[in-house]
Amino acid sequence: MRIGRWGPLYGAILFFVAWQLGANSVGTPLLFPEPLVVWEGFLRLAETGEYFEHAGATLQRLAVGMAVGIPFGATLGCAMGASRDLNAWFDPYVRMANSTPAIALIPFALLWFGVTELARYSLVFYTAFLVLALSARQGVGQVPYLRIKAANTLGVTGASAFFRVVVPSSFPAILVGIRTATGLGVMVVVAAEMLGAANGFGYLIILGRQNYDPTLIFIGIFSLGVISLALDRGFQFCIERFMPRWSVKRRV
Amino acid sequence: MENDWKHLKVSGLYKRFDRGPIVLSNISLTVERGGFLCILGPSGSGKSTLVDLIAGFEPPTEGIIAFDDVPIHGPGPDRVVIFQDISNALFPWLTVMENAEFGLKKIYRDKKERTDRAMQALELVGLDKDTHKFPSELSGGMKQRAQIARGLVMDPHVLIMDEPFAALDAITRRRMQYELKEIWERTKKTIIFVTHDISESLILATEVTVLSSGPEARILDTFRPDLPSGTDPADAEFIAAYRRIEALVGHVHDAGESLT
Amino acid sequence: MTNSSSHRPYFVAAASIVTAIITWAFASTYLIPETLLPHPFDVWDTAVKMSDSGLLWISIEASVWRVFWGWVMGVIAGIITGLILGELRDVDAVIGPIFEFLKGVAPISLVPIMILWFGIGEFPKLLIIAYITWVVVTVSTATGVREVPNVRLRAARCLGMSQLEVFYRVILPSTASYVLVGMRSGIGFAYIALISAEFIAVDKGLGFLIMDSRMNLQTPLMIVGIVSLGLLGSGSQFIYDVITLHIPWLSRFRRQ
């Protein structure tokens, strides 16, 4: 059997068929709406523009949190990778943060910042910062010592070697970190929206729950899945296209 | 499988994959029981494909591979292959002893018998003191010895060795060649040894078959070097044989084909 | 390397933590209101009180029970589907992409639907935890099956193994190391799912404790809850490591 490239198509068909069957078996649209019903609901939201308002809100929160978290996290990570002392100083907090997912901190953020955008931004920032710090630190640690020595023999030493050799060498790890942070970031944004927001897909899900309208819930869940997938694939695509030398497929 | 076979015969072998180019063309060779045949060829000459065919991993497009008159059917413990990629060929979750005993579970129900047979093979390759180690704890040479022991334990008709020492450093390789020759002399096993290294083939084999480079690799020549035992690569006879092979392969090179 | 320099990281870390606590105490007393940042002593007091009253232990017990059983169910289901996906290329071609999609669906987004369908009991919570673990373990297991080196399969055939024997004597053990890693990743995600479920389906458990304490502005309680959760999460992974790395029969499968 040569399924190959058609796999995702068959998969999608299978998915919707299974969905339809599931909805049929339950019977009432109050509990399990059919795919078509959800699609109609989506169209309605798209017409009024509401859908895009929600999409924009969710994406914006993700973008802001990551835009700040990534550079700061990567910087700390590189610094920790470079200096034993710095690493020893910050490692306890990194470990603690690692065991404490951002979701667990949502109430804390809401307490500090109220039900505001800042609370949501800070949570995404926390996630991105941590993931990038870990990735960057690992990336720096993985640079073959041989490569640093090679630079040294060419007359490039110390801080110069760090910025010209070590940091670029850790780029692939940082890129992987960005990818991971995106995935986790979406999870956090959703959670933050579900627990206190007035727009966004997470809010849509909660709205659906309050109004006993599962269609909204499904629209929210599905949109989030699509966004995650799109962001992930899009990111990979961009790397391949614009920065192929950093793609993880090539060993740097 | 009969136990009193005399020859492994390969006749008129052709191989192509699906509708691709012909990889091997009109390959015929005979391995005498107890002999040490070396198949020598450059990279891309289809040596690995030939191994796959004799081992039974791939069916021939045309031609026959048989022990006397009994054709082979698929892979089996009568033709055990020793692979080049030792890290992946050994089973990393099993100790040296467990690796060696692996194939015996089906044949011998008695644990003690399995352990004894495995131990015999391990002693032969010099790993009797390391039986409780895991492959990750062994050096390259030791890993290869473990693989050889695992193969010998099956008491195969033929041991097929696919460039087994290519991944080892030169010093270890020399030692392994020497030890392999001793093992061959002690066990009288039939060995088919595939390599691209002319010296290696002359050090080890009683008969050398030279393949041309691919595609459509064919046999350039088959001969017995007939070097006296204990011949050193510096000896005149060795150099003569070496030159002879070089000329063969060089001849092909002149014809414009690549000689990687 | 003298003794003192190899212990240096520990001294630095200790200094760091002491500095942090002192800063915390100072900030909470003079700079930041109590409701936002309680004094370390208050937090400690609360922790002790919660421990004595049993509230802490009840919450922990509820959470641990959920996350453990959810994780176990997810692991078992994940190994089965992972093996199927890894072995059967055609099934993988069709269902694999569905998994790619599922990976991006945050567990918390599924909580309302689960509650709608199954009510506010243990079942929906277990289901969500099991679900995310299932996805993670399936992907690792399938990868593990695919990564079994071809050479190894051939070596086994040479040694006389039939296809079935190759499966359970070579493929399964070779996959084991990937499965063990997947199970470990699953722990982290299981805790995220746990919190997600406990935040929304209010009941008992650490998640509920954290959420509830915000309503009552009992910040020390919240901090104790969050820290307990963190300790529980890393503690779980630690125990997992101890078991898989130190029981010889298991640790051999983490070798490559």
Q: What is the pLDDT of residues C203-247, one digit of tens each?
A: 788 998 998 888 888 899 999 999 999 999 999 999 999 988 888
Contact C160 B76 (CB under 8 A): yes
Query: What's the average model confidence in pLDDT over A26-31?
Result: 76
Please name every residue paired with C203 in a beta bridge, in sequence order, or none if there are none.
Answer: none
Please tell me the predicted confidence (pLDDT) of residue B215. 78
Query: What's the average model confidence in pLDDT over A55-79?
Result: 94
Smallest Cβ–Cβ distance between C116 and the set A7, A187, A214 belongs to A214
Please tell me the predicted confidence (pLDDT) of residue A136. 94
Tens digit of pLDDT for each residue in C235-248? 999 999 998 888 87
Are B242 and B205 in contact by the 8 Å Cβ rule? The answer is no
| Reported confidence tier of residue A1, pLDDT bands at 50, 70, 90 | low
Q: Which residue has the tokens 């892979």?
A: B75
Q: Spell out the residues 6+ positions from residue B191 whose beta carbon is closer than 8 angstroms to its own.
A: B35, B36, B37, B158, B159, B160, B161, B180, B184
Angle B37-B40-B45 (CA atoms, 0-180°, nearest 5)? Answer: 130
Q: Which helix (H) or strand (E) holds C25?
A: helix C8-26
Structure tokens, C230: 């963190």
C251: chain B residues, CB-CB within 8 Å: none
Angle A154-A160-A165 (CA atoms, 0-180°, nearest 5)? Answer: 70
CATH of the domain at A77: 1.10.3720.10
Among chain C residues, the shortest Cα distance to A188 is held by C106
Please give, rounded to a whole number of angstroms, the shortest distance from the CA of C247 to a CA of chain A. Answer: 25
Among chain B residues, the shortest Cα distance to C147 is held by B88
Number of B to C CB contacts under 8 A, please give it: 69
Residues B93, C170: Cα–Cα separation, whole Å: 10
Sheet architecture: strand order including B70-71 = B22-32, B7-16, B62-67, B70-71
Residues B210, B241: Cα–Cα separation, whole Å: 12
Contact A98 C36 (CB under 8 A): no
Q: Is residue A182 part of a domain?
A: yes
Domain that holds residue A239: 34-246
Query: What's the average model confidence in pLDDT over C166-176?
Result: 91
Contact B75 C170 (CB under 8 A): no
Hey, of C11, C85, C109, which one would you mutate to test binding to chain A, going by the most A CBs within 10 A of its CB?
C109
Please tell me the predicted confidence (pLDDT) of residue B232. 77
Structure tokens, A128: 């991105």
Structure tokens, B33: 């029981």
- Range A28-34 contact pairs with CB under 8 angstroms and sequence separation of 24 or more: A29/A214, A29/A215, A30/A212, A30/A214, A31/A214, A31/C116, A31/C117, A32/A214, A32/C117, A33/A214, A33/A215, A33/A218
Please tell me the predicted confidence (pLDDT) of residue A252. 46
Residues C159, C169: Cα–Cα separation, whole Å: 12
Residues B250, B212: Cα–Cα separation, whole Å: 10
Are C207 and C195 in contact by the 8 Å Cβ rule? The answer is yes
Question: Does A104 reach chain C within 8 Å, measured CB to CB?
Answer: yes
| Rg of chain C on CA atoms, in Å | 23
Contact A191 C196 (CB under 8 A): yes
Of C10 and B229, the one with more pLDDT = C10
Number of structural domains, chain A?
A: 1
Query: Neighbours of C (≥3 Cβ pairs closer than 8 A)?
Result: A, B
Candidates A48, A45, A63; CA nearest to A218 is: A45
Please tell me the predicted confidence (pLDDT) of residue A118. 93
Hey, of A6, A99, A112, A210, which one would you mutate to test binding to chain C, going by the most C CBs within 10 A of its CB?
A99
Instruction: Say which amino acid occupies A131.
Output: V
Question: Does B92 reach chain C within 8 Å, measured CB to CB?
Answer: yes
Are C89 and C147 in contact by the 8 Å Cβ rule? The answer is no
Candidates B50, B40, B22; CA nearest to B249 is: B40
Please give, rounded to a whole number of angstroms, the shortest distance from the CA of C66 to a CA of chain B. Answer: 33
Q: Spell out the residues 6+ positions from residue B259 whose beta carbon is closer than 8 angstroms to its own.
A: B42, B213, B249, B252, B253
Please tell me the predicted confidence (pLDDT) of residue B225. 83
Question: Does B109 reach chain C within 8 Å, measured CB to CB?
Answer: no
A89: chain C residues, CB-CB within 8 Å: 12-13, 15-16
Give the global pTM.
Answer: 0.84
Whether the per-residue pLDDT at A60 is higher than 50: the answer is yes
Start-end of H helices in A154-247 = 158-161, 167-169, 171-194, 201-210, 214-242
Query: What's the average model confidence in pLDDT over C89-95?
Result: 86
Contact B83 C159 (CB under 8 A): no
CA atoms within 13 A on the CB side of C230: 20
Chain mean pLDDT for chain A: 88
Please tell me the predicted confidence (pLDDT) of residue A88. 92
Please tell me the predicted confidence (pLDDT) of residue A242. 78
Contact A95 C234 (CB under 8 A): yes
Please tell me the predicted confidence (pLDDT) of residue C93. 86
Give phi and psi for B222, each to the nearest 5: -135, 125
Ordered by start, the domain boundaries in chain C are 1-32, 42-254
Contact B91 C173 (CB under 8 A): yes
Please name every residue paired with B16 in a beta bridge, in sequence order, or none if there are none.
Answer: B22
| Rg of chain A on CA atoms, in Å | 22
Give phi and psi for B207, each to the nearest 5: -140, 140
Query: What's the average model confidence in pLDDT over C140-144?
Result: 94
Q: Is residue A24 part of a domain?
A: no
What percentage of chain A carries pLDDT values higher than 90?
Answer: 52
Please give, rounded to a whole number of angstroms, the shortest distance from the CA of C81 to a CA of chain B. Answer: 23
Smallest Cβ–Cβ distance between B75 and the set C151, C154, C174 belongs to C154
Collapsing DSSP states into helix, strand and coil, what is residue B10? Answer: strand
Q: Is residue A85 part of a domain?
A: yes
Query: What's the average model confidence in pLDDT over C153-174?
Result: 92
Do chains A and C have 3 or more beta-carbon pairs under 8 angstroms?
A: yes
Tens digit of pLDDT for each residue in C24-71? 999 988 888 888 889 999 999 999 998 999 889 999 999 999 999 999
Are A103 and A196 in contact by the 8 Å Cβ rule? The answer is no
Query: What's the average model confidence in pLDDT over A108-115?
Result: 91
Please tell me the predicted confidence (pLDDT) of residue B1. 47
Residues B122, B48: Cα–Cα separation, whole Å: 27
Residues B154, B131: Cα–Cα separation, whole Å: 18
Of B2 and C11, the one with more pLDDT = C11
Please tell me the predicted confidence (pLDDT) of residue C3. 53
C15: chain A residues, CB-CB within 8 Å: 89
- Architecture (CATH level 2) of domain C42-254: Orthogonal Bundle (1.10)
Whether the per-residue pLDDT at C254 is higher than 80: the answer is no
- Which residues of chain B have a pLDDT value below 50? 1, 252-260
